[in-house]
């Protein structure tokens, strides 16, 4: 009897994790020299230009294809040979020899229906890649504008600090001449320390922003960046939601399609055989062909638990689709 096998959930579950890990690691390993300042579009393009991500996608699709091929594999034919020798009185002696070949098959067409789920698996995985690209674009842009913002803040505080130093020297000269009091000098010194503290804090924030940006672009390749302090436009919510929505839609199609694979155990596990039989007795010798057919006796729906599980998965995905906001047309 042909036994269907339940799908392996690890292929889908680990794909997003692989994208995240490979994306960061490959971003740190790439080495394309560029001496000119980087703008935000160049940084985003560099972060997204990772052939390793496409390789992960292709290998995951190949794993899913191999999984379906393994589940739908036909069983090999079975060769059966038999020999019987009955001894006793002369009239009861008998020799029997038989050989047959048996092949299992089914009439439910579940293999074709299972293969029909593969395009939806591929589309769901492709949507995960699109979702990854949108996420990376958002992260790189956020890091870029954080660097630009804190760079400008550091410049402002450094310029301010230089002016305070110049003013402080002037005030000390005037204090020596008796034109201003010691209090005026101390007030400016306190202001200088406050500015230096703010500048140090901004430099820490700038270093953190650079570290975030260099997760995607190698440190040695980024000499400087150029661009506005804030984005002219933000990534729209529709752009972020669309890949996730498409992924759920394809996973829903997969779940509903795989539910159709099950539910017909009586039409699976049929076996047909053909062979040859020779019977030799004291009275006569005879031979002939054998034809056999075996069908499973189904007293209960053995597929019901699996169908219930798949229906629950499909309903859960459909519920997520209902709750998720639809992008504007």
**Cα separations in angstroms, 121 against 15, 59, 111, 251, 295:** 12, 13, 16, 7, 33
Please give the pLDDT value at position 1.
43
For residue 5, is pLDDT > 60?
A: no
198-217: per-residue pLDDT in tens?
Answer: 889 999 999 999 888 888 77
For residue 227, is pLDDT > 90?
A: no
Reading phi first (left if > 0) and then psi (alpha if -120 to 50, else beta), residue 250 is in alpha
Please give the pLDDT value at position 325.
66
Please give the pLDDT value at position 221.
61
**What's 237's DSSP letter?**
H
For residue 2, is pLDDT > 50?
A: no
Q: Which of 7-11, 148-152, 164-168 has the lowest mean pLDDT?
A: 7-11
99-124: per-residue pLDDT in tens?
Answer: 999 998 888 888 888 898 889 888 88
Reading phi first (left if > 0) and then psi (alpha if -120 to 50, else beta), residue 310 is in alpha
User: In the predicted model, what is the mean pLDDT of residues 266-273?
Assistant: 88
Encoding tokens for residue 256?
């509903």
Please give the pLDDT value at position 275.
94
Binned at pLDDT 50, 70 and 90, residue 80 comes out as very high
pTM: 0.63
Question: Which residues neighbour 60 within 8 Å (Cβ) at sequence distance 6 or greater?
Answer: 11, 15, 18, 125
Taking the C-alpha atoms of residue 156 and residue 165, their distance in angstroms, rounded to an integer, is: 14
154-179: per-residue pLDDT in tens?
Answer: 999 888 888 888 888 887 887 788 77
Mean pLDDT score of the chain: 80
Superfamily name and number for 10-323: Outer membrane efflux proteins (OEP) (1.20.1600.10)
With b meaning 16 or more CB within 10 Å and e meaning fewer, what string describes 273-305? bebeeeeeeeeeeeeeeeeeeeebeeeeeebee
Nearest to 32 by CA among 251, 221, 159, 193: 221
Give the rounded percent of residues in the chain with a pLDDT score beyond 70: 83
For residue 79, is pLDDT > 90?
A: yes
User: In the predicted model, what is the mean pLDDT of residues 254-277?
Assistant: 87
Please give the pLDDT value at position 7.
55
Taking the C-alpha atoms of residue 127 and residue 239, their distance in angstroms, rounded to an integer, is: 12
Number of H helices, E strands in the chain: 8, 4
Please give the pLDDT value at position 293.
92
Alpha-carbon dihedral sign for residues 157, 158, 160, 164: positive
CB 194 within 8 A of CB 236: no
Please give the pLDDT value at position 278.
92
CB 250 within 8 A of CB 137: no
- State phi, psi for 54 to the nearest 5 degrees: -65, -35
Q: How many CB atoms lie within 10 A of CB 127?
A: 20
Encoding tokens for residue 26?
């490959």
Nearest to 164 by CA among 143, 146, 190, 138: 190
User: In the predicted model, what is the mean pLDDT of residues 143-158?
Assistant: 90
Binned at pLDDT 50, 70 and 90, residue 223 comes out as low
User: In the predicted model, what is the mean pLDDT of residues 65-84?
Assistant: 90
Q: Looking up tokens 């995960």, which residue turns up?
A: 128
């Amino acid at each position: 009897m042909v036994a269907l096998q339940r799908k392996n959930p690890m292929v889908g579950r680990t794909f997003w994790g692989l994208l995240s890990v490979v994306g960061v690691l490959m971003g740190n390993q790439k080495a394309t020299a560029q001496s000119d300042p980087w703008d935000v579009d160049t940084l985003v393009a560099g972060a997204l230009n990772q052939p390793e991500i496409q390789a992960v996608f292709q290998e995951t699709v190949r794993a899913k294809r191999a999984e379906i091929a393994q589940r739908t594999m036909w069983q090999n034919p079975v060769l059966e040979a038999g020999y019987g020798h009955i001894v006793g009185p002369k009239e009861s002696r008998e020799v029997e020899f038989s050989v047959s070949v048996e092949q299992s098959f089914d009439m439910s067409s579940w293999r074709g229906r299972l293969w029909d789920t593969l395009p939806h698996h591929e589309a769901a995985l492709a949507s995960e890649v699109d979702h990854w690209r949108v996420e990376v674009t958002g992260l790189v842009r956020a890091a870029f504008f954080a660097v630009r913002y804190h760079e400008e803040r550091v410049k402002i505080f450094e310029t301010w600090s230089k002016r305070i130093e110049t003013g402080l020297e002037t005030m000390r000269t005037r204090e020596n001449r008796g034109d201003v009091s010691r209090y005026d000098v101390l007030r400016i010194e306190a202001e200088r320390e406050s500015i230096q503290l703010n500048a140090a804090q901004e430099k820490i924030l700038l270093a953190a922003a650079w570290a975030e940006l260099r997760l995607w672009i190698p440190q040695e390749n980024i000499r400087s960046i150029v661009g506005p302090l804030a984005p002219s436009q933000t990534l729209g919510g529709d752009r972020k939601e669309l890949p996730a929505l498409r992924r759920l839609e394809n996973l829903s199609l997969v779940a509903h399609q795989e539910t159709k694979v099950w539910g017909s155990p009586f039409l699976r596990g049929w076996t047909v055989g053909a062979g040859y039989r020779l019977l030799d007795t004291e009275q006569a010798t005879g031979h002939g062909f054998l034809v056999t057919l075996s069908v499973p006796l189904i007293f209960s729906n053995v597929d019901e638990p699996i169908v219930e599980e798949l229906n629950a998965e499909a309903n859960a995905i459909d519920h997520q689709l209902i709750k998720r906001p639809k992008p504007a047309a």
